[in-house]
């Protein structure tokens, strides 16, 4: 065994707090190490050339690179050694940057830790075996989950590139949150006017198959070959027959149904088409309110419908689609008002949320674009906007910034003045965050041209006083207490992960953060990838962001899928579980625990039953290896013996 | 209760199974030994008394291909339930002859009482007394004094699963909270005390693996990781750390699976209380997953399920 060790300085990132020359010198004393050196930037072209040359010159057959996280450059160095003729799995990395130099200032302690860490990597490398990938065919169809602006953009870009797209939208129409907005910052152009045509394109594109009011039920398979079970929820209206004429909605006697599209600003009918531009423009029954379901008799819509589309007996339906890649664009949710007892916790009708206000501003909203207070339907003259309702508030469990509220508050203040010229808006804010192109100018315009009064401070309490709502807050710039008697209060409620986001992540086997937002492959360099091959992210599902950023991610995710599908065959990762048939006792416990269903029973010629891993399905998670009592199932590249070699290196003195 | 009813049942059962596993007398009256019956004339050999200590259910997985009748006590029956949960037997190929049990003897305890004299005769009297005859004379013992610890807290004197019952069912009069009293008491000791205790116990271990071989739930048998080089978790050295490691592996592999039959402890030639470790883990499993091995065939052993969120283990705070 001839191991070569390359210690990277990473400029001063590593060399600043680790004596890299000493680490290299120590490695030269380790049995099996034939060559050890340190270099300024190992990942640079000359750095990689040095590795290749050393492999030839020193006849090295195992390589250890001590540098940054393998997440960063493992692939880089695997390719390097492969070019020099070694199996790519003969590479081992020691992460002496994120794990050592970045987290400690004591150079001596760091150096000692680095020496141990690199020794462990050497021990592992000496136990590494050559592994070989298999190639398999790619199914060039893509599933997009979520039909908001991000998902639609991704679907259209994929379809325009010639790929077949399956678009699954949970609600009855595509459009997402953007379809609910009135105008959009910073240009104040009508939201549905720019979104509507995209929605129509989605509906009419011959490469896009849209499943609205549907959810992903189950996902099986792996990059290139997924089997997706889609649950089409019962709408109780046959969408093939429904023409979207709306006659049913007019006649439905259940007039007090909750309007999900309008976030409950006004009631809707039990049978409804969510909004005039809905795609598909089809009716659906809400069985929580429909009299036929609640009371067992009504049938008005069935009588009125000219095409006989109503079907009270309809059941959920499961459809299977095969795809090769998945784009997740499931968007965001908003925190509930009842999180805010100090703001009345949703008890005062004239304290509403930003998205509800969008609906009041919107010409196709329940008030036809007239701003009317929910309590008495009068025009508010004093409107108070409260930013960061929940956001950046650790006590609310939401330490992060919701990204776009500052901007939409400015937009809504401008629109308020446009709608009601003698009105006055107040904005309570913590900081104004408007770093986008033209954004700061926009928030200034709200103040300077539209006279919105910005008060820097948190609102401590809101309470009713006659017909008014009194907003009590601090002005931290003046150091005084402020009270405003408002007609209407708008809370910029914090953005949360979409409802059900963690459950969807589990189905997709992607990671999510503490808040339920999906975690990207790398915060800078892989913003739309996940750590699961074949699954990409777009829009607010990854974190709060505005429309331009969501659209940009939609296109980016689509281009990633195009790149993936540019090949007909993909290579499997050989770092998967493998069963030693000689020692497997056939207890089949591994089958019970494998979260991917990758282990199957196999009968050997003598009739003995053993476990068998389907290589392409195995995700290399290692759950089975922890289950197997006799160690018969081992994860290639992370075998017990490989890990034990590392442990023994630091434990045996 | 004599073995007559049991013999009748077995005569019947034998007609449609390949073999029935029961007890017969061993080399003396204090020792029973398993017998494998496949001919009617063997039925006469069958005995049933408190010396029938072995857990006969342990043989079932290795006889999976055959149709088998098996005689089980209440405690042994939990093994069958656990096998069912783990898919290690095909229940339709097992005929369970259950014996409601009032307690067995610990051979070790009896021998201690008679100073390890050769046994000439053992008689079980109707009032629960035991007469043991040795060359040194006759000793009268009470069953309660010589039964293994497991009997004193037994909650399942009547088998939890059976096809035939050889006597009237018996209700347990023991308190469920007493089952883990020993564990709880031991937990009350300091870390140092516990360490000293186990080091002393394990130091005697000769790594004969009798505990492992007798354990009905040790499915690996010849593939046991304790004797494997790949993976090489443990060496063959006979030092304390390796013995300790072996027992940790054995215990962890039985977490939430040990049916507390006590076979491991019964067979240990060095008298090491190895069952205590498994009981400790079972106690923890009960606290974490509200799971008790070997009582309900529908249960799933928690270690053999994969669930993303565990109720009592906090991973994601959502
Ligand atoms: C009050 C308010 C005003 C705003 N004003 C502006 C503005 O003026 N300009 C601007 O740039 N941005 C604005 N925004 C932000 C804007 O709404 C978002 O940037 C944009 O909607 C993000 O799009 P998306 O596709 O990522 O998510 P969404 O719009 O949330 O779309 C996600 C879609 O996925 C669907 N979905 C969710 N879960 C599933 C699932 N499990 N399966 C299938 N489908 C699922 C949802 O039903 C939804 O249709 C505003 C936001 C608010 C709250
Ligand atoms: S858990 Fe181990 S021994 Fe049991 S079937 Fe799976 S590989 Fe074989
Ligand atoms: S490593 Fe094991 S448990 Fe994980 S996916 Fe592969 S076979 Fe299943
Ligand atoms: S560990 Fe001991 S008590 Fe538990 S099942 Fe095995 S032999 Fe019985
Ligand atoms: S039976 Fe006793 S001596 Fe033998 S291995 Fe088990 S604990 Fe050790």
Ligand 2 centre and the CA of A532: distance in Å?
26
Query: Which residues on A lie below 8 Å from B253 (Cβ)?
Result: 629
Q: Is A593 in contact with B306 (Cβ distance < 8 A)?
A: yes
Ligand 2 contact, A220 CB (< 6 A)? no
Residues β-bridged to residue B141 = B130
Ligand 4 centre and the CA of B216: distance in Å?
7
Q: What is the 3-state secondary structure (H, E, C) of A83-138?
A: HCCCCHHHEEEEECHHHHHCCCCCHHHHHHHHHHHHHHHHHHHHHCCCCCCCEEEC
Give the chain B residue nearest A648 (alpha carbons).
Answer: B233
Please, what is the Cα angle at A422 between A419 and A427, to 5 degrees? 80
DSSP letters for A454-492: EEES-EEEEEEETTEEEEEEEETTTTEEEEEEESEEEEE
Find, among A38, A91, A30, the residue nearest to A60 by Cα. A91
The predicted model gives B59-87 an average pLDDT of 96
Label residue B312 exposed, middle or buried (CB < 10 Å: 0-12, 13-18, 19+): exposed
Query: Which residues on A lie below 8 Å from B88 (Cβ)?
Result: 587
* Residue B220 contacts A where some CB pair is shorter than 8 Å: yes
**pTM exceeding the 0.80 threshold for the entire prediction:** no
| Nearest CB partner across the interface for B228, out of A623, A631, A639 | A631
Task: Report which secondary-structure segment, H or E, holds B6.
Answer: helix B4-13
Sorting pLDDT into bands at 50, 70 and 90, what band is B222?
confident
In chain B, the N- to C-terminal Cα span, in Å, equals 59
Ligand 5 centre and the CA of B210: distance in Å?
6
Token duo for residue A291: 């009299």
The predicted model gives B157-173 an average pLDDT of 94
- Closest-CA distance, A346 to chain B, in angstroms, reads 23
pLDDT tens, B2-46? Answer: 678 999 999 999 999 999 999 999 999 999 999 999 999 999 999
| Nearest CB partner across the interface for A641, out of B232, B306, B317 | B232
Q: Is B316 in contact with A514 (Cβ distance < 8 A)?
A: yes
Question: A291, A256 in Cβ contact below 8 A?
Answer: no
pLDDT tens, B267-299? Answer: 999 999 999 999 999 999 999 999 999 999 999
Find, among B112, B75, B98, B114, the residue nearest to B1 by Cα. B98
Q: Is B225 in contact with A629 (Cβ distance < 8 A)?
A: yes
The contacts found for B125-131 with CB under 8 angstroms, 24 or more apart, are B128/B102, B130/B50, B130/B105
- Closest-CA distance, A592 to chain B, in angstroms, reads 6
- Residue spans of the domains in chain B: they are 1-102+152-172, 175-311
Residues β-bridged to residue A635 = A577
Residues β-bridged to residue A361 = none
pLDDT of residue B318: 47
Q: Is B219 in contact with A641 (Cβ distance < 8 A)?
A: no
Sorting pLDDT into bands at 50, 70 and 90, what band is B317?
low
Q: How far is Cα of residue A623 from the mean position of the Cα atoms in its chain? A: 25
DSSP letters for B21-45: EEEEE-SSTT-EEEEEE-SGGGGGG
Give the chain A residue nearest B308 (alpha carbons).
Answer: A506
Ligand 2 pocket: which of A578, A628, A640 to mutate (most atoms within 8 A of CB): A628
Find, among A268, A301, A271, the residue nearest to A283 by Cα. A271
Count of Cβ atoms closer than 10 Å to residue B33 Cβ? 13
pLDDT tens, A372-423? Answer: 999 999 999 999 999 999 999 998 899 999 999 999 999 999 999 999 999 9
pLDDT tens, A449-501? Answer: 999 999 999 999 999 999 999 999 999 999 999 999 999 999 999 999 999 99
- Low-confidence stretches of chain A (pLDDT < 50) are none
* Residue A583 contacts B where some CB pair is shorter than 8 Å: yes
Ligand 4 pocket: which of B260, B272, B281 to mutate (most atoms within 8 A of CB): B260
The answer on pLDDT for B1 being more than 90 is no
Tokens 């939609």 locate to A554
Sorting pLDDT into bands at 50, 70 and 90, what band is B316?
low
Ligand 4 contact, B75 CB (< 6 A)? no
How far is residue A210's CA from residue A204's CA, in Å, rounded to a whole number? 10
Strand pairing class (A214-222; A225-232): antiparallel
Q: Residue B231, preceding bond cis, omega within 30 degrees? A: yes
* Residue B306 contacts A where some CB pair is shorter than 8 Å: yes
The dihedrals phi and psi of B149, each to the nearest 5 degrees, come to -55, -35
Going along chain A from its start, the domains and CATH numbers come out as 3-127 (3.40.50), 141-233+316-331+498-564 (3.50.50.60), 333-496 (3.50.50.60), 577-636 (3.30.70.20)
Question: A323, A167 in Cβ contact below 8 A?
Answer: no
| Nearest CB partner across the interface for B219, out of A512, A583, A587 | A587
Sorting pLDDT into bands at 50, 70 and 90, what band is B313?
confident
- Closest-CA distance, A595 to chain B, in angstroms, reads 6
Ligand 2 centre and the CA of A510: distance in Å?
27
pLDDT of residue A72: 87
In chain A, the N- to C-terminal Cα span, in Å, equals 22
Task: Report which secondary-structure segment, H or E, holds B186.
Answer: helix B181-187
């Amino acid at each position: 065994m001839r191991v070569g060790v390359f210690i990277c300085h990473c400029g001063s990132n590593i060399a600043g707090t680790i004596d890299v020359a000493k680490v290299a010198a120590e490695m030269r004393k380790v049995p099996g190490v034939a060559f050890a050196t340190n270099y300024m930037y190992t990942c640079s072209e000359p750095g990689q050339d040095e590795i290749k040359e050393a492999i030839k010159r020193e006849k090295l057959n195992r390589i250890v690179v001590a540098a940054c996280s393998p997440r960063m450059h493992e692939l880089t160095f695997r390719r390097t050694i492969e070019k020099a003729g070694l199996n790519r799995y003969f590479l081992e990395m020691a992460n002496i940057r994120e794990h050592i130099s970045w987290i400690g200032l004591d150079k001596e302690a760091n150096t000692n830790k680095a020496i141990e860490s690199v020794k462990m990597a050497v021990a592992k490398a000496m136990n590494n075996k050559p592994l070989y990938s298999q190639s398999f065919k790619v199914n060039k169809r893509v599933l997009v989950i979520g039909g908001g602006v991000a998902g639609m953009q991704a679907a259209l870009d994929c379809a325009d590139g010639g790929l077949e797209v399956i678009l699954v939208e949970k609600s009855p129409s595509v459009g997402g949150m953007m379809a609910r907005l009135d105008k959009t910052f910073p240009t104040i152009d009508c939201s549905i006017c720019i979104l509507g045509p995209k929605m129509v394109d989605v509906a009419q594109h011959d490469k896009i198959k849209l499943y609205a009011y549907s959810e992903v039920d189950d996902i099986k398979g792996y990059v290139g070959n997924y089997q997706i079970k889609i649950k089409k929820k019962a709408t109780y209206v046959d969408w093939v027959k429904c023409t979207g004429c709306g006659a049913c909605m007019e006649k439905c006697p259940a007039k007090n149904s909750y309007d999900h599209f309008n976030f409950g600003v006004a009631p809707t009918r039990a049978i409804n088409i969510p909004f005039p531009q809905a795609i598909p423009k089809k009716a659906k029954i809400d069985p929580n309110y429909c009299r036929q379901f609640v009371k067992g008799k009504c049938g008005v819509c069935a009588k009125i419908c000219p095409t006989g589309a109503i079907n009270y007996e309809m059941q959920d339906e499961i459809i299977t689609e095969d795809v090769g890649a998945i784009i997740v664009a499931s968007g965001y949710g908003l925190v509930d008002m009842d999180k805010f007892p100090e703001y009345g916790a949703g008890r005062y009708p004239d304290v509403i949320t930003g998205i509800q206000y969008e609906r009041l501003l919107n010409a196709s909203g329940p008030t036809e674009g007239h701003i009317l207070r929910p309590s008495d339907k009068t025009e508010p003259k004093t409107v108070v906007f409260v930013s960061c309702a929940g956001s950046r508030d650790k006590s609310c469990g939401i330490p992060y910034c919701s990204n776009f509220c500052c901007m939409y508050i400015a937009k809504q203040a401008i629109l308020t003045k446009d709608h009601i010229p003698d009105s006055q808006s107040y904005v309570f804010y913590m900081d104004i965050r408007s770093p986008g192109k033209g954004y700061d100018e926009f928030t200034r315009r709200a103040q300077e041209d539209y006279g919105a009064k910005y008060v820097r401070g948190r609102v401590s309490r809101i309470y009713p006083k006659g017909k008014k709502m009194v907003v009590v807050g601090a002005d931290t710039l003046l150091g005084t207490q402020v009270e405003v008697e408002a007609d209407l209060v708008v809370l910029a409620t914090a953005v949360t992960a979409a409802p059900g986001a963690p459950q969807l992540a589990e189905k997709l086997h992607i990671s999510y953060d503490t808040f339920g937002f999906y975690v990207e492959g790398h915060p800078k360099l892989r913003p739309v990838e996940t750590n699961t091959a074949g699954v990409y992210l777009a829009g607010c599902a990854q974190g709060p962001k505005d429309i331009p950023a969501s659209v940009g991610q939609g296109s980016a995710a689509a281009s990633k899928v195009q790149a993936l599908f540019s090949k007909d065959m993909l290579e499997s990762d050989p770092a998967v579980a493998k069963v030693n048939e000689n020692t497997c006792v056939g207890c089949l416990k591994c089958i019970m625990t494998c979260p991917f269903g990758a282990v199957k029973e196999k009968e050997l010629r003598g009739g003995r039953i053993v476990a068998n891993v389907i290589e392409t399905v195995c995700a290399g998670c290692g759950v089975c290896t922890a289950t197997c009592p006799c160690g018969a199932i081992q994860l290639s590249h992370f075998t017990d013996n490989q890990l034990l070699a590392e442990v023994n290196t630091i434990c045996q003195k | 209760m004599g073995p007559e009813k049991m013999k009748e049942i077995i005569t019947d059962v034998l007609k449609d199974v390949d073999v029935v596993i029961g007890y017969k007398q061993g080399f003396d009256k204090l020792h029973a030994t398993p017998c494998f019956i496949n001919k009617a004339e063997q039925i006469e050999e069958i005995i049933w008394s408190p010396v029938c200590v072995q857990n006969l259910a342990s043989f079932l997985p290795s006889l999976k291909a055959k149709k088998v009748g098996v005689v089980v006590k209440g405690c042994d029956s939990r093994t069958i339930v656990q096998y069912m949960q783990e898919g290690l037997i095909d229940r339709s190929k097992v005929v369970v002859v259950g014996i409601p049990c009032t307690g067995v003897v610990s051979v070790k305890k009896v021998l201690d009482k008679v100073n390890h004299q050769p046994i000439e005769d053992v008689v079980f009297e109707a009032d629960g007394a035991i007469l043991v005859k040795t060359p040194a004379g006759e000793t009268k013992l009470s069953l309660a004094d010589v039964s293994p610890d497991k009997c004193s807290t037994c909650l399942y004197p009547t088998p939890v699963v059976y096809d035939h019952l050889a006597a009237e069912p018996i209700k347990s009069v023991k308190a469920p909270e007493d089952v883990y009293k020993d564990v709880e008491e031991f937990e009350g000791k300091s870390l140092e005390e516990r360490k000293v205790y186990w080091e002393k116990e394990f130091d005697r271990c000769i790594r004969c693996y009798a505990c492992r071989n007798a354990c009905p739930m040790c499915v690996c048998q010849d593939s046991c990781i304790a004797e494997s080089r790949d993976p090489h978790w443990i060496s063959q050295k006979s030092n304390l750390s390796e013995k300790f490691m072996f027992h940790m592996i054995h215990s962890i592999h039985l977490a939430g699976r040990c049916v507390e039959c006590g076979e491991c402890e019964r067979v240990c030639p060095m008298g090491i209380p190895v069952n205590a470790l498994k009981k400790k883990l079972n106690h923890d499993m009960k606290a974490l997953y509200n799971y008790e091995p070997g009582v309900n065939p529908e249960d799933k052993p928690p270690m053999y399920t994969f669930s993303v969120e565990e109720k009592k283990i906090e991973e994601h705070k959502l």
